């Protein structure tokens, strides 16, 4: 026999569908680190009129509806550079940022896409106006969309085969 008595002063619980609508919306993006034979990374510079115009960053962008982070990484690197990855990129890190440009939380997934061929032609999208291969030491005075400590940690993770946890663009 059930002797449970409902508590009269408890708050009403929302049905799951309604409760989910109260959760914060998070933007999710995927970025790809590509290295040449000298361990320099490929960076793209955002063109004028783009968010982050003049900043250098890794190829990448937001997930499309229903897309997973690996598929987004492959799509974005192809769209932004013309490079088709041979295989699935390897996860090397993630970054949680609580609020980006007053749009709310963002989670960035970072993947290692492998070594670039020596004779590479980058076919930039219209959102970028320059590209280059950079050693970490070359980036100390560069205007970056991803902070140098994060790029350094991601570069190390790519070479070591590890994964780094970032928070607000800094290793933790």
To the question of pTM greater than 0.85 for the whole model, the response is yes
**Inter-residue contact 137 to 101 (CB < 8 Å):** no
Fold entry, domain 24-171: Nucleoside Triphosphate Pyrophosphohydrolase (3.90.79)
Structure tokens at 66: 């229903």
* Distinct helix (H) and strand (E) counts, the chain: 3, 9
Query: How far is Cα 25 from Cα 130, in angstroms, rounded to an integer?
Result: 32
pLDDT value of residue 10: 61
Provide the residue ranges of all domains of the chain, joining segments of one domain with +: 24-171
What SS3 class is residue 56? strand
The four Cα atoms 63, 153, 57, 37 give a dihedral, to 10 degrees, of -110
Residue 44 exposed, middle or buried by CB count within 10 Å (0-12, 13-18, 19+) = buried
Other Cβ atoms less than 10 A from the Cβ of 140: the count is 8
Q: Report phi then psi at 135, rounded to 5.
A: -80, 155
pLDDT digit string (tens) for 35-94? 999 999 999 999 999 989 999 999 999 999 999 999 999 999 999 999 999 999 999 999
DSSP conformation letters of 60-106: EEEPPTT--HHHHHHHHHHHHH-PPPSSPPEEEEEEEES-STTS--E
Structure-token match 């250098």, residue found? 56
pLDDT digit string (tens) for 106-153? 999 999 999 999 888 999 999 999 999 999 999 999 999 999 999 999
């Amino acid at each position: 026999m059930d002797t449970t008595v409902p508590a009269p002063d408890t708050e009403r619980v929302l049905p799951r569908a309604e409760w989910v609508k109260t959760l914060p919306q998070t933007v999710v993006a995927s970025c790809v680190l590509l290295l040449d034979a000298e361990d320099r990374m490929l960076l793209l510079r955002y063109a004028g009129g783009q968010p982050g115009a003049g900043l250098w960053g890794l190829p990448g962008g937001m997930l499309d509806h229903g897309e997973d982070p690996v598929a987004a990484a492959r799509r974005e690197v192809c769209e932004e550079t013309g490079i088709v990855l041979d295989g699935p990129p390897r996860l090397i890190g993630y970054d949680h940022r609580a609020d980006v440009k007053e749009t709310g939380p963002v989670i960035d997934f970072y993947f290692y896409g492998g070594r670039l061929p020596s004779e590479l032609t980058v076919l930039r999208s219209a959102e970028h106006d320059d590209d280059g291969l950079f050693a970490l030491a070359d980036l100390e005075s560069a205007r970056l969309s991803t902070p140098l400590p994060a790029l350094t940690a991601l570069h190390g993770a790519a070479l070591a085969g590890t994964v780094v946890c970032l928070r607000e663009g800094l290793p933790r």
